[in-house]
Amino acid sequence: MSARSGHGAVLCIFFDFETTGLHLPFTEIVEIAAVARIFGTDGLWHDLPGNESATFRRLIKPSKKLPKKIQRLTGLCNELLEREGLDFRTALGAWTAWLRQIEHRAACAQGTIEVWMVGHNILAYDLPLLAAQDGRERRRDQWRDGGGNVWQAPPLFEGVEQLTGFVDTLHLSRQLAASGCFQPQGGHGLVALHSSIVGRPLASAHTALGDSLGVA
């Protein structure tokens, strides 16, 4: 990303999910994390002003036990999710509220600002998974209430007024490699990309917050 004359600053929300598996129709999100940074008109990255945190993390309690393979990969366990996990709708509402608050902080500091959501493999996995689980939850709510005239959950990302689009760093890496501009060592996975670009291993890989920080 490069600054262009006449264009304002950009608020980037780097995010990641940890989940119960890979099969979208049945997979559930168990961790949401995000990191906010501003790409300024000076072409440099900036932290958000103020003392409040520019990171977000919530655990979500799934409807079924977390597979042992996922526990080993992410460091999450069923006991932790049972103790600290929220229901999906509550966690999603907290994330949306945080996004609106971050957008407001950035706008106060920079004026009108575009908001871009950034993540690794989000177009093929994270966003379809989020939409699929949100759809299941809505259908479940309607079934519980008999399809009557009941409260409906707000649309995804409602209230994030300057949300402009989504950037998938996996797709970007592959495009750059195909054009000959970039050749990562070890492939296009996040861990390999981080080592290739930053020059050191990705700390806390395969955790939602660790991967969000790695993309950022």
Query: H or E segment at 139?
Result: helix 127-144
Task: State the pTM of this model.
Answer: 0.91
Alpha-carbon distance of 87 to 96, in angstroms, equals 14
As a whole number of Å, the end-to-end CA separation of the chain is 12
pLDDT value of position 146: 60
Which residue type sits at 123? L
Predicted pLDDT at 4? 41
- Strand-strand pairing, 114-119 and 55-59: unpaired
pLDDT value at residue 112: 81
Q: How far is CA 88 from CA 21, 51, 85, 135, 192, in A?
A: 16, 28, 9, 12, 31
Closest C-alpha to 121, from 165, 74, 167, 168: 168
| pLDDT (0 to 100) of residue 109 | 87
- Name the amino acid, one letter, at 132: A
Burial class (CB in 10 A: 0-12, 13-18, 19+), 191: middle
* pLDDT of 6: 44
Locate 162 and state its tokens.
């300057």
Ordered per-residue pLDDT tens for the chain, 216 residues: 444 434 789 999 999 999 999 888 899 999 999 999 999 989 999 999 877 789 999 999 999 999 999 999 999 999 999 999 999 999 999 999 999 999 999 999 888 899 999 999 999 999 999 999 999 998 887 766 665 555 578 899 999 999 999 999 999 999 999 998 888 888 999 999 999 888 898 988 999 999 999 999
